[in-house]
Amino acid sequence: MSTPDEIESDAMSERDESSARRAKAAAAGDAPMEVLAAIGQLRLLICGLGVGLLVMSLAFTAFVYKQNRNLVGATALRERQLAQLRANDHSLSYLVNSLVKYSAGKPELTALLARHGLQTTPPTSAPGAAARP
C-alpha cells in the first residue's frame, strides 16, 4: 500500500510531466513564423486567387461568346425566313383570296377559314369588272 505522501508525489510528477509536454507543444505550435516564409505564403495565396479569377473570367467570356454566336445565327435564320415569306406574300395572298372566293357558297370552308382567322367575305369586285358582259 502506498502512503498519502507517495500518492501525492506521484500526482505531482504526473502533473509536471503533462505541463512539460504542454509547454513543448505550445512552443512548437506557437513559434512565430519567419517574415520571408509568411510573405511567400501570402504570395502563393494571391497568385492562386489571381489564377482562379483568370480561369473564371475566361470561362465566362467563352460562355458569353457562344451565346452571342447562337443568337446571331438564330437572328440571321429568322431574317432569311421573313425574306422568304415576304417574297411569297403576293402569291399566298392571291391563293387565299381565290380560296375565299371559292368558299363563298360553301359553309364548311367558311367555318374552316373563320376558325383560322381568315376573312370569309369575298372582296368587292372592281367597278370595271361589273360593266363587262
Query: What dihedral angle (degrees, nearest 10) is formed by the CA atoms of 99, 101, 104, 107?
Result: 0
pLDDT at 28: 57
Give residue-wise pLDDT tens across range 100-109: 787 777 778 7
pLDDT at 128: 46
Helix %, strand %, coil % of the chain (to 5): 85, 0, 15
Give residue-wise pLDDT tens across range 112-133: 777 877 766 655 554 444 444 4
pLDDT at 42: 95
Give residue-wise pLDDT tens across range 41-93: 999 999 999 999 999 999 999 999 999 999 999 999 999 999 998 888 888 88
